[in-house]
Amino acid sequence: MDFIPFENELNGQDALPLIQASHRFRSDCAPPLSLVMALRRLLRPLLSFGVQYPYLANLLKLTYVEVATREFPLEDRPQSHSRISLLTGIHRQDVKRLRGGDNERRATPAGDFAGCAPGFAPAL
C-alpha cells in the first residue's frame, strides 16, 4: 500500500510526485502536500486524546455548514439549504439537519457526537 511519506522520510526530495503516484488519488486532484502535512499535525494530538474519525467527521461537517452560512451570505435573501450544500459539498439533507431544520432529529451533541472522546463533546 502506497502512503504519502512523513516529513522525516522525504530526505530533501519533493513529495508531490509521490502523492500523485499514489493509487488513492487521480493525478489531477492530488491534495497539496501542505494540506497533508497540516492534517497530520492536527491528527496526531487528536488521536492521542482518543478522538475518533466519526466524531471528527461530524464536527467537520458542522463547521463547514457554519462557515458557509456565516461567511458566504447572499445580500438580498437568506441562505438556502441547497446553496449551502453546493458551497460545501455536503448532502442537502445533512445541511438541513445540521442547521436545525429537521424536526425529527436535530443536530445535537447527543445525536451527532454520541460516543465521542471524554472532554470533547460540544457544549449545549
How do residues 51-96 score in pLDDT, each as one tens digit? 999 999 999 999 999 999 999 998 898 889 999 999 999 999 999 9
Q: Is residue 123 part of a domain?
A: no
Clarify whether residues 106 and 55 are in a common domain.
Answer: yes
In a domain, 11, yes or no: yes
Claim to verify: residue 69 and residue 107 sit in the same structural domain: yes
21 assigned to some structural domain: yes
Q: Give residue 120's pLDDT band: very low, low, confident or very high (50, 70, 90).
A: low
Does pTM top 0.75 for this prediction? no
| pLDDT for the residue numbered 106 | 44
Total number of domains in the chain:
2
Say yes or no: 29 and 63 in one domain.
Answer: no
- Give me the sign of the Cα torsion angle 2, 35, 99, 89: negative
Say yes or no to pLDDT of 110 above 50.
no
* 94 within domain boundaries: yes
- Looking at the structure, tell me whether residues 72 and 19 fall in a common domain: no
Give the range of the structural domain holding residue 2, as residue numbers without chain letter.
1-49
